[in-house]
Structure 1
Amino acid sequence: MLLLRNVKKSFAEPGGGRLPILDVDEFQVDAGEQVVLVGRSGCGKTTLLHVIAGISTPDSGEILVDGRDLVRLDEAERDRFRAENIGYVFQSFNLLAGFTALENVLLGMAFGQGRRDPARARELLERVGLSSRQRHKPAQLSIGEQQRVAVARSLANRPRLLLADEPTASVDAKNQQQVIDLIRETCEEEGVALLLVTHAPEIAARFERTVQLENLNKVAALT
């Protein structure tokens, strides 16, 4: 489902040099597999998710999602591929304040080739426990409920791969495990491969496969 080979990423520095962020020889996630990446702040977790999603392009290497190399696609092709194949749960939710929960999920369908499917959107909101909150806007929802909407939206287009970037960072400790269980159970039901990033060892301990990013990313191992 996901395969990275020889992926390197750096950013330009003010003095004209390059600041290395990623140097990954190989990393793989199988179809339907659930993997958690653990690492300290600043070790490249979000950057890695961004290059996997095609939000950012690596300096070199291969990033294959379902056999398609995102590095070889132009920006428009990457955007379309991401919309149709990759779900993304942001730690800041990224919900549109002027839209209801249902409208935010429907918006997630607008970027792929498929049509909007209100029945699918309502089913996802029901699955995440928000059947009675579909017409509420983000400001009318708790932080935990907003994250549930974000999870539903990320699955709107039936992705093959779901990326979750610190999905409990803005959720209180009481609801953190509930959010993780929700993401994992929904991915299992939908047959979606999951790559979740966290710095919390208590969350990582619940996954069968845990990868330390410092062991995966040679740049992080040197800092």
Structure 2
Amino acid sequence: MSLKLTNVRKSYREPGGGMLPVLNVESFQLIQGEQVALVGQSGGGKTTLLNVIAGITAADSGSIVVDGTEISRLSEPARDRFRAERIGIVFQTFNLLPAFTALENVLLGMSFSGKADRTFAKALLEKVGLSHRLNHRPPQMSVGEQQRVAVARALGNKPRLMLADEPTANVDTANQEKVLSLLRKGCEELNVSLLLVTHSPEAAAQFPRVERLAEFNKPGAVE
């Protein structure tokens, strides 16, 4: 089992002092190597769910097991180490460092897990069609090329679980299918489980399993 959530709840305090429930997930599972698209509207808790799974945000209660480790029981520093070693993340806004080249951005991502491998970094960039952009910086690349660098960086630490937060929201239609195909193929080759959240039916249609967040996340049921 790559991912298992049980009775996961998360609420945020509102300016007026009340609590706003965002997550109430009784059960969700993902087997190793599986690729799932999770569809939900803006404000539906998609990003919060990914942050809780990644250990960026701590859940209020419940169990989150990633690759056999219950990260919900880890301290914040331990969650950071675990994420660096076993979880890849593709952000909607890419989060590339503009002063670094494509190759340096991938190597930097690898360094957090202590696995910086220049040969593998180059190979990943070649796989996403950027062999001619190794020494280009993000401002010198198109939006689609930047997103492909982000995909290569996320695969750099050979994670067990890949989380993708609206990865095609900032690329045009022509590049959307290309980015998703590269992401899915890269995960398949490395046997990485992939959980992608999106509001796009077109993006979700490329996945063998599609789930709707509203069907299993019931924040209104939180007492």
Same topology, TM > 0.5: yes
Give the conservation status (yes or no) of the 8 Å contact 1:3–1:28. Answer: yes
The count of aligned residue pairs is 221
- Following TM superposition, by how much is the alpha carbon of 1:202 offset from its aligned partner in structure 2, in angstroms? 1.4
Q: Secondary structure at the match of 1:132?
A: helix
Structure 1 residue matching 2:41: 3-state secondary structure = coil
Contact kept, 8 Å, 1:125 with 1:134, in 2: the verdict is yes
Cα distance in 1, alignment partners of residues 177 and 12 from structure 2: 34
State the secondary structure of the residue aligned to 1:180. helix
Residue type matched to 2:149 in 1? V
The 8 Å contact of residues 92 and 166 in structure 2, kept in 1 or not, is answered as: yes
TM-score normalised by length of structure 1: 0.97
Cα distance in structure 2, aligned partners of 1:202 and 1:87: 23
Find out whether 1:191 has 2:191 as its counterpart: yes
TM-score by length of 2: 0.97
Partner of 1:206: 206
Cα distance in 1, alignment partners of residues 110 and 185 from structure 2: 21
2:127 matches 1:127: yes
CA gap of 1:6–1:221, structure 2 versus 1, over 3 A, is closer
Separation of aligned partners in 1, 2:69 and 2:107: 26
Deviation of the 1:174 alpha carbon: 1.3
- The worse-fitting range, judged by mean Cα deviation, of 148-157 and 204-213 is 204-213
Give identity over the alignment, percent: 62
Secondary structure at the counterpart of residue 135 of structure 1: coil
Residue type of the alignment partner of 2:24? D
> SS of the counterpart of 1:112?
coil
- The runs of 5 or more residues in structure 2 that have no matched partner are none
**Which residue does 1:76 correspond to in 2?**
77
Q: Residue 182 of structure 1 corresponds to which residue in structure 2?
A: 182
Give secondary structure in 1 for the equivalent of 2:51: helix
Report Cα offsets for 1:21-42 as digits up to 9, x if no partner.
0000010000000000001111
SS in 1 for 2:132: coil
Q: Residues 98 and 197 (structure 1 numbering): CA distance in 2 closer, same or farther, change over 3 Å? A: same
Distance in structure 1 (CA, Å) of the matches to 2:62 and 2:30:
17
Cα distance in 2 for partners of 1:3, 1:86 equals 14
- How far apart in 1 are the matches of 2:205 and 2:170? 20
Letter matched to residue 104 of structure 1: N
Evaluate the alpha carbon distance shift between residue 110 and residue 99 of structure 1 in structure 2; reply closer, same or farther with a 3 A threshold: same
Report the aligned-residue RMSD. 1.2
- List structure 1 segments (4+ residues) > 6 angstroms apart after TM superposition: none
1:16 Cα deviation from its structure 2 partner: 1.8
1:59 equivalenced with 2:60 (yes/no): yes
* Aligned residue identity for 2:135: R
The alignment partner of 1:171 has SS state of coil
Alpha-carbon displacement from aligned partner over 1:158-177 (angstroms, at most 9, x marks no partner): 00000000000000111111
Contact 1:214 1:221 in 2 (8 A): no
Q: Which residue of 2 aligns with 1:23?
A: 24
Written as runs of structure 1 = structure 2, the 5 A alignment for 1:1-223 is 1-114=2-115, 116-219=116-219
